[in-house]
Amino acid sequence: MNFISARPAISTSIGVIGVGSLYLFWRWYSNRERIPSNWRQVGVLNDLMCFPIKSCGIIREQAMECSELGLKIDWLYDRGFVIVNLAGNFVSARLHPKLVLIKPSMSKDELILTVPNGESFTIKYKDIIEKPVSKVTLWGQEMKGMDCGDDVAGFLSKYILDEDTGLRMVHYPTECGNMRRSRIRAIVRDNDSGAFPDLTSYCLMNESSIDDLNTRMDGFKTDPQNFRPNFVVKGAQPLEEDHWQWVRIGDVVFKVVKQCTRCVLTTVDWKTGVKNENGEPLATLKKYRMIGVKKHDTGSPVMGIHLTLRKAGTVQLSDPVYVA
């Protein structure tokens, strides 16, 4: 049989192989996304943190709603606000450590920002949704946000830059749903990327892993808040979170995406806004937590895990934490 007469058979074989490959991929993906039925309890939820403004302070509550965009308190989302420069590039505490000292608080439809000298600024939600749309660039990705106005821009510019202008604050347009394209599309759906977090909608820390880290540093102690997670689990074994694939807090289910790579932000003390002169805890993490680092993350140690929501609901402190 010559090549020309064999072509129909070859084409049929290629088609069968292609369909078979697609079917196997579909089976693999479906199994990967299927919520497990068997769970093992590892501890309890010991801390619950929402950071309304990227790189700034924290709001703690006894219970919070878990939404696709992240932790939610009424209209307020985790990392739902971001501070940008006049070019629209996001500004973080990596460059301006004073950001961590901006304390957010909430009252009805208002977000109140307080800085260390006692001055404060109040943002009303109804005013935000009437502001013009602005460009935001987050890790090279262009997004749209709602500019929060000149007054809060001046307040932040004065505190952070000691200038009248230079910074703006932008709110994620939550009525548009999740419009952000994932940075790691091979393992995360686009709608798992949250509002303005670095990677995914949720981050979890194991308290005993931080305790273990503290035994390795001489004369320095850190705590989970310095890693800026949403959830802190108490009762699990040190570093066992490296092997979890699914997490359930109460009835809310999350899929584990990957370990969290850590940067210089961990060296900024959230209580003082000052970077540790010895680069701790990052320096110690680099000695033993380079495990599992992907090529695009070379040079960054890992601690904690990124999560994506698979079953929504409300979590509260002391909820049992299960893994699968």
One-letter-per-residue 3-state SS of 122-190: EEEHHHHCCCCEEEEEECCEEEEEEECCHHHHHHHHHHHHCCCCCEEEEECCHHHCCCCCCCCCCCCCH
Tens-digit pLDDT profile for residues 220-256: 999 999 999 999 999 999 999 999 999 999 999 999 9
Within a domain: 28: no
What would the two tokens of residue 111 be? 């977000």
Q: 139 or 45: whose pLDDT is higher?
A: 45
Q: Mean pLDDT check: name the lowest of 129-133, 143-147, 195-199.
A: 129-133
In a domain, 66, yes or no: yes
SS3 284: helix
Question: Going by C-beta distance under 8 Å and a sequence separation of 6 or more, which residues neighbour residue 215?
Answer: none
**Torsion over CA: 227, 230, 232, 244 (sign):** negative
Task: Judge whether 31 lies within some domain.
Answer: no
Per-residue pLDDT tens over the stretch 78-135: 999 999 999 999 999 999 999 999 999 998 899 999 999 999 999 998 888 777 788 8
The pLDDT score that the predictor gives to residue 12 is: 63
DSSP, collapsed to helix, strand or coil, labels residue 324 as coil
Give the pair of three-digit tokens for residue 299. 């040079």
**Least confident piece of the model among 27-36, 45-54, 201-210:** 27-36
What is the average pLDDT value for the chain, to the nearest integer?
88
Which comes out higher in pLDDT, residue 37 or 22? 37
Q: What pLDDT is attached to residue 131?
A: 76
Give residue 175's pLDDT band: very low, low, confident or very high (50, 70, 90): low
User: In the predicted model, is pLDDT for residue 176 greater than 90?
Assistant: no
> Is residue 182 predicted with pLDDT exceeding 60?
no
Q: Quote the percentage of the chain above a pLDDT of 70.
A: 83
Q: Quote the pLDDT of residue 158.
A: 97
Tens digit of pLDDT for each residue in 278-322? 999 999 999 999 976 555 445 799 999 999 999 999 999 999 999
Higher-confidence residue: 12 or 227?
Answer: 227
Domain that holds residue 84: 40-323
CA distance 40 to 64: 23
Backbone angles phi, psi at 66, to 5 degrees: -105, 115
How far is residue 126's CA from residue 105's CA, in Å, rounded to a whole number?
A: 17
pLDDT the model gives residue 127: 86
Domains contained in the chain, number: 1
Helix (H) or strand (E) holding 10: helix 3-33
**CA neighbor of 147 nearest in space, from 131, 136, 159:** 131
Tell me how far apart the alpha carbons of residues 169 and 207 are, in angstroms, rounded to a whole number: 33
pLDDT of 177: 53
Q: What pLDDT is stored for residue 186 in this prediction?
A: 46
What pLDDT does 298 receive?
55
Is 226 among the domain residues?
yes
Residue 281 in any domain: the answer is: yes
In this structure, the number of other CB atoms found within 10 A of the CB of residue 254 comes to 26
Give the β-pairing of 40-50 and 59-60.
antiparallel
pLDDT in the model for residue 16: 59
Residue 179 lies in a domain: yes
* Integer Cα distance of 262 and 227 in angstroms: 8
Burial 179-202 (b: 16+ CB within 10 A, else e): ebebeeeeebeebbbbbbbbbbbb
Residue 313 has what pLDDT?
Answer: 98
Q: What's the CATH number where 173 sits? A: 2.40.33.20
Answer whether residue 4 is part of any domain: no
Give the pLDDT confidence score for residue 220 in this predicted structure: 95
* In-domain check, residue 22: no
CA distance 28 to 33: 9
Residue 18 has pLDDT above 80, yes or no: no
pLDDT band at 20 (very low <50, low <70, confident <90, very high): low
Which pair of tokens denotes residue 92? Answer: 């973080």
Question: What's the CA gap between 168 and 151, in Å, rounded?
Answer: 9
Which segments of 34-119 does DSSP mark as H helices, in order? none
Q: In whole angstroms, what is the distance from residue 238 CA to residue 249 CA? A: 19
Structure tokens at 147: 């500019």
Identify the three-state secondary structure at position 206.
strand
